[in-house]
Chains A and B, each alone.
Chain A
Amino acid sequence: DVKVTQSSRYLVKRTGEKVFLECVQDMDHENMFWYRQDPGLGLRLIYFSYDVKMKEKGDIPEGYSVSREKKERFSLILESASTNQTSMYLCASSLGWEISPGAKNIQYFGAGTRLSVL
C-alpha cells in the first residue's frame, strides 16, 4: 500500500514563526503536492514538485515555499506564519506523469496537518 506520512496531525504556532510541514512517501513516487483545505473553498494547490529539487507554483503559493532535497520528502515552509494560514494542509504524491489515464497518476494523500496560527 502507498503510504504518505505527514509529520504532525495538529500544530499550533504563533504569528511570525517559521513553520515546517514535512511529508514523506514510501513508494518512490516522482511527483509530490501540497494543498490546503478550507471550508467552502475545497482543496487548493500550493506547490508541486515533479522531481528532486524541482518545484512549480500552484494556485496559491504566496506566503509559502517548498523544499525537495530527496525524492521521498517534500517540505512546506511558512516563512512567517499569519493567522490567515490557519488551515488543514494535505500532502499528496503520484507515481509520474502520463498522458493517457492510468493508475500511474493517481494522487495519494496523507492524513493532513491541522495548523492553527495564533
Chain B
Amino acid sequence: QKEVEQDPGPLSVPEGAIVSLNCTYSNSAFQYFMWYRQYSRKGPELLMYTYSSGNKEDGRFTAQVDKSSKYISLFIRDSQPSDSATYLCAMSNTGFQKLVFGTGTRLLVSP
C-alpha cells in the first residue's frame, strides 16, 4: 500500500464548476500538507500548504485537512480552462525536509 493515494483521473469538468481533488494517506505522523500544480512539460509549482487539521483559503482555492480520517482535499471554485493541469498532493512529518507525493490527478476544464 502506498503511503499517499491519489486518484489519477482524468477529471473532466465544465468551466465554472466546483472541483474537488483528494488524497488519502496512511502515516499518522504527517503534519504538513501541500498541493502543487503541474502544467504539461513544466515543473510543479506550490499552490497551497497547511499545517495539521483545518481549512485554508486563497482566492478560488481552499485546502482542507482531516487528520482523523487521514484525508486532504483541494477545492477549486469557478474553475477555468487555465486550471487544466495535474494536481499533486504532498506531505511531510518534519517540516518540509522530505516530501511524500501522491501520483497526481489530471484535471481538464472545458470551456
Residue A11 CB within 8 A of the other chain: no
Q: Which residues of A contact B46 (CB under 8 A)?
A: 106-108
Are A105 and B102 in contact, CB atoms less than 8 angstroms apart?
A: no
Secondary structure class of chain B's binding surface, majority of residues: loop
Are B98 and A42 in contact, CB atoms less than 8 angstroms apart?
A: no
Interface size class for chain A? 20 to 34
**Residues 7-59 of A at the B interface (beta carbon under 8 Å):** 40-45, 48, 58
Residue A94 CB within 8 A of the other chain: yes
Q: Which B residues are closer than 8 A to A by beta carbons?
A: 4, 6, 8, 32, 36, 41-46, 49, 51, 88, 90, 94-99, 101-104
Q: Which A residues are closer than 8 A to B by beta carbons?
A: 4, 40-45, 48, 58, 90, 92, 94, 97-101, 105-112
